[in-house]
Each structure stands twice: as C-alpha cells, then as structure tokens.
Amino acid sequence: MPLQGIEVVDVAGKGRGLCATQEYRTGQVVIRSRPYEHVIFNEQADKVCHHCVRQPISKGPTHTPPPLLKCGSCKFARYCNKDCQKAAWEAHKPECAAIKRVFPNKASDQTRLVARLFWRKQRVAENKIQEDLPILVEELESHVKQRTKEEKEQLDNRVFSFGDYVTYEAMPESDEVIYQWFGAVDCNAISLNDQRGLSVVGVGIFLDVALLNHDCNPNCVAVNNGAKVEVRSLRPIKPQEELCISYIDPIDTTPGRQEKLKNQYYFDCKCEECENGSEREAMKSALLDENILKEKPEAENYIIKMSTEALKRMENTKKSRNFERLYNQALGALKQQDSVIADSHVLKIAVLNQCVEVSSFLRRPDDSCMYARRVADAYEKILPAIHPVLGMYLMRLGVLQWQTQMKEAFETLGRAAGIISKTHGDGHPLFLDIVDLMRQCHHEMQMSPEVQTKMKAVRKEANLGIGKVGLPSN
C-alpha cells in the first residue's frame, strides 16, 4: 500500500500525520484504501456479506432480498456468492475454528477484530511475506497508559479472555502486544456503513487512513463504499498542507467535541476551530435575540436544562414505542425552545430531528417535511458548503418532499447530489440513489395533477421512502 500524492510527516503538537505533496481539488480522492482487517458486527452478521460488506438488494418493494450464503462450518459468516466466500477463506479459516470453539457463546466484535490482526501477523511470519505497509499495526496509537482505572480493568478482562477465542497455546509469551492491539482498535478502527451510509454494519483497520490527524474543521472526509474507504478533499488543498479528517460528530459544540476527543482518543484538541472559534461555531449556541438575556437572564439556562431533560425523556419514550407520546413531547419542547434559541442551536436541532423522525413514522409527511426543512437550514449555517452530513440530510429532505409531491424535491435532491458527488463520489450507491430519485421526480413532474395525487396516495399507503428517514422498526 504505497502512499501516492501524500507523505508521512511529523506535525508540531500532534506527532505523526499526513501531508499533501500535490494539489487536490474539491472532491478529489486523496486515499483509496482497503482494510488491513475488518469484521461485521455480530448483530449484523446474517445481513451483510463478510467479505465485500454489501447487503442483498431486493428487486422491488414487494420482493424479498436474496439470501446470503452461509459458511457451512461455523454457520456464522455470510457471503454474497462463492467468489466472496473463496476470497474471504484465508482470513476466515482460523476465525471459523474460533467461532466453533466458543459456541454457543459469541466473542465480542472487538475481540474478533483483534484476533484477525493476530492471525494475519501469524500468516505473514509463517509464509515469510513482505508486506508494503504505510505503518505497522504495532505502531498505531493505543494510549494504553492513559486509560482510567476502570478502562484498564475492562482492557484486562478482554486480554485475559482472548485466549479462549484464539487458544492459549497460540497466545504470545507477553500480553503486551495484545494490550496494544486492543488499544489500537479502540482508537483507530473505522466504522463500515451499509451501501447507503445509513447504518453501521462493521468496523475495520485501515493503516493509511489511521495516519490522518483530527481537525474540527477538516479538509478531508473518509467515506466507505463496501469494504473500501475513500478519503476525499472537502476543499482545495495545496502541497505541504496537512490532511485532516474529523473523528467525531461535527454538529457538537466545542466543549462537547473536546470532551469526546479526550475520552475516546486521549488528546486535547487545539485546532483553529477550538482555539479561536468561528461564526459557524457561534451559531451552535445562538439565541433568537441576544436582548433576551438582558430581559430574562435566566432564560438560556432554563432552556438548556429543559431541552437536555426533554431529550432524555424522548429517548425513554422511544424505547417504549409510544410514538404519539414522543410526538407530543417533541412538540412541547420545541414550543418552549422557539421563544429563546435559534434553530441552529445544537439542542434545538436534536429536538427538531426527533420531530422529523416521529412525524415520518406516524405518516405525517407535511409535518416531517416542515421540520426537516428547518434542520436543513440549520445545517447550512453550521456546516461547510461541502460536507457529507449536509449532503445526506438534503437527500433526506428531498425524499420527504418527494412523498408530498412538492416541486422543491427535484431541486433539493439536485443540491444533495452536488454535495454527495464530491464527498462520496459519483460511483457511490448513495449518489446513484439520489440520481434515481431525481429521474423519478422529473418523470412525475410531467404527469397530470390527478395522476400525481393518486401516486401520492399509493406512496403513503405503502409507506415508501419512510424507511430511509423514520424511526427504527425494532
């Protein structure tokens, strides 16, 4: 995996990082990477191909997706076809034996990924293979020494039980390397999403992508397409400019991001966004009118406390599947927020998203469309013009608008396509989905109003499209 157009450098205050050695235009691929090793989550094991990380696609809304092939030995691994099964066998062979060894128990996803790292190192050593790697697994940051007492105890338990899975005879003489690998997986593993990028189905180690440092206003984004991860530029990049991605949710405020980075990645972020702020950052805690604090100085603290508690209650209500109650809770919280904080405030975005989800689930497309429009407008204020979160949300809004036969759907989907083509690429399934929806919208726009009304009724009855934007069904 030789690096092209980039080089490994020492970055002041950060340590190792990646730097561009050429110019990159917006949306250009900077790194195209396949996993050093990856696993599909236990809970997704029967839904996704364990080699190419693809899900079977049904031929239509009334068709059942074709079944995946099951490993005849362990009955756990699944594959699209014989080609994927054959290609996966070398890595799956020791895993297959381990799965049967611990059955009926299941090893954790993390243990399974560390084991695949372990077995790959064994294969390389036994077969005297020369791997061209940008970095060794042993060189990945693990931050084992920086763990809290509780975290160290959890790490101890994982390491001590590792031998049950790989056999104690195969364990190295020193546990130090196993500790390092578990720590490295904690800090470097990258989530693998389904084809449409809507749900996480697995996790993998990508050695070149792992060299990228974090920035809260990154110039790159890492997006997976099947098992492959592509790093693309979010804006023009010049030679000698450091390449950075965001490790966490960009919607969060500076204190929230810093807390998450410290807890999960063990460093204090000192990027420009955190140190000096920005207009976008200020919008995440904006009031409707700054004069509110002069008239009612306690209003902001009240709204923050109320919103935080309301969101917790909504999560509990969602678990009980009382969606009418959830809808009323969300509307009640939003009514109070509307008098104090702007739509771009992160707590208000969270409540608005609850309104979008539950109204979609309850088949109230006009309401969900209205709230989604507000969320999209808020995202445009706090996110860069080219950002995957903005692109995906515009797609969500476009789907909702399409359900209600709104003329704006075609325009919204077009904007989403323009962003996704740069963040994901024009060969990504998500981009192709948007293009298909745009064709459908354009076709329906040519139909008579009577036919459009009938199609709207059919979609509402079939609940088409809501699965992409509504609450989870489980």
Which of 142-146, 276-280, 454-458 bottoms out in mean pLDDT, i.e. has the lowest?
A: 454-458
Question: How far apart (Å, rounded) are the C-alpha atoms in residues 397 and 408?
Answer: 10
pTM for the whole thing? 0.87
Q: How confident is the model at residue 289 (pLDDT cuts 50, 70, 90)?
A: confident
Mean pLDDT value across residues 144-154: 90
The 10s digit of each residue's pLDDT in 53-109 is 988 876 655 567 788 999 999 999 999 999 999 999 999 999 999 999 999 999 999
The token pair that represents 192 in the structure block? 């693998």
Write down all domains in the chain, each with its CATH number in brackets: 36-191 (no CATH), 383-474 (1.25.40.10)
Question: How far apart (Å, rounded) are the C-alpha atoms in residues 53 and 201?
Answer: 8
- Position 468 scores a pLDDT of 42
End-to-end CA distance of the chain: 40
How many other C-beta atoms are found inside a 10 Å radius of the C-beta of residue 428? 21
Q: Name the residue with tokens 């592509």.
A: 230
Q: Is 70 helix (H, G, I), strand (E, B) or coil?
A: strand
Of 288, 283, 282, which Cα lies nearest the Cα of 300? Answer: 288
The 10s digit of each residue's pLDDT in 341-365 is 999 999 999 999 999 999 999 989 8
Mean pLDDT value across residues 22-50: 95
Instruction: Provide the residue type at 271 as one letter.
Output: C
The 10s digit of each residue's pLDDT in 175-202 is 888 999 999 999 999 999 887 677 899 9
For residue 56, report the phi and psi dihedrals to the nearest 5 degrees.
Answer: -60, 140
For the chain, give percent helix, strand, coil, nearest 5: 50, 10, 35
For residue 314, report the phi and psi dihedrals to the nearest 5 degrees.
Answer: -65, -40
Reply yes or no on whether the pLDDT at 473 is more than 60. no
Percent of all residues in the chain with a pLDDT value above 90, rounded to a whole number? 69
Q: Which residues of 93-121 are buried (b: 16+ CB within 10 A; e: fewer)?
A: ebbbebbeeeeeeebebbbbbbbbbbbbb
Reply yes or no on whether the pLDDT at 273 is more than 60. yes
Of 412, 467, 463, which Cα lies nearest the Cα of 437? Answer: 412
Mean pLDDT of the chain: 89
Of 236, 190, 259, 220, which Cα lies nearest the Cα of 17? Answer: 220
Of 232, 230, 228, 254, which Cα lies nearest the Cα of 243? Answer: 232
Report DSSP letters for 38-62, one per residue: EEE-GGGTTTS-TTT------SSTT
Of 428, 365, 426, 429, which Cα lies nearest the Cα of 398? Answer: 365
DSSP code at position 7:
E
Contact by Cβ (8 Å): 113, 185: yes
Q: How confident is the model at residue 469 (pLDDT cuts 50, 70, 90)?
A: very low
Mean pLDDT value across residues 323-342: 95
Of 134, 229, 236, 162, which Cα lies nearest the Cα of 189? Answer: 229
Q: Name the residue with tokens 């390092």.
A: 180
Reply yes or no on whether the pLDDT at 467 is more than 60. no
Q: Name the residue with tokens 């969060």.
A: 252
The 10s digit of each residue's pLDDT in 378-434 is 999 999 999 999 999 999 999 999 888 778 999 999 999 999 999 999 999 999 999
- Position 402 scores a pLDDT of 87
For residue 224, report the phi and psi dihedrals to the nearest 5 degrees.
Answer: -95, 150
- Position 465 scores a pLDDT of 45
How many other C-beta atoms are found inside a 10 Å radius of the C-beta of residue 91? 18
- Position 452 scores a pLDDT of 62
DSSP code at position 274:
H
Instruction: Provide the residue type at 53 as one letter.
Output: V
Reply yes or no on whether the pLDDT at 474 is more than 60. no
For residue 50, report the phi and psi dihedrals to the nearest 5 degrees.
Answer: -75, -10
Q: How confident is the model at residue 456 (pLDDT cuts 50, 70, 90)?
A: low
Contact by Cβ (8 Å): 383, 280: yes
From the centroid of its chain, how far is CA 339? 33
Phi-psi region of 27 (alpha: psi -120 to 50; beta: other; left: phi over 0): left
